[in-house]
Amino acid sequence: MPREARLFNSSEGSPVSGFLKLRANVTPRWIENARSSRKRFEPEIDKRLRRIKHLRKSRPGAKVAIKEAGKELRAALRQWEVAYAKEIFYRGVRILLEVQRNGSSPR
């Protein structure tokens, strides 16, 4: 079972707030975990996009099916968006830690 992203949630997705609240280091593994979590949703999004495109082309009168497919697509996109926000959040906190240590971020 994945751990709850307490730092992300408590700082409301802001890397600056997360940096100020951080009491430890952001390991590269955190960024990789967030990236793999985001990538895990992409096949589902592709499937949903293809389904809605197929329905619109082959059954343009099936309004209920198209509407339901649109809802499923939006739900999958929301999950992907949260995972993407977490990845960017951890990357931002890591960069701020690098600036604190070295005076600049890596290129």
Q: What is the pLDDT of residues 61-106, one digit of tens each?
A: 999 999 999 999 999 999 999 999 988 988 888 888 888 888 766 6
6 or 83, greater pLDDT: 83
Q: Where are the domains of the chain?
A: 27-102
**Tens-place pLDDT, residues 14-55:** 888 887 777 677 778 878 888 888 899 999 999 999 999 999
Q: For residues 59 and 32, give the distance between their C-alpha atoms in angstroms, rounded to a whole number.
A: 41
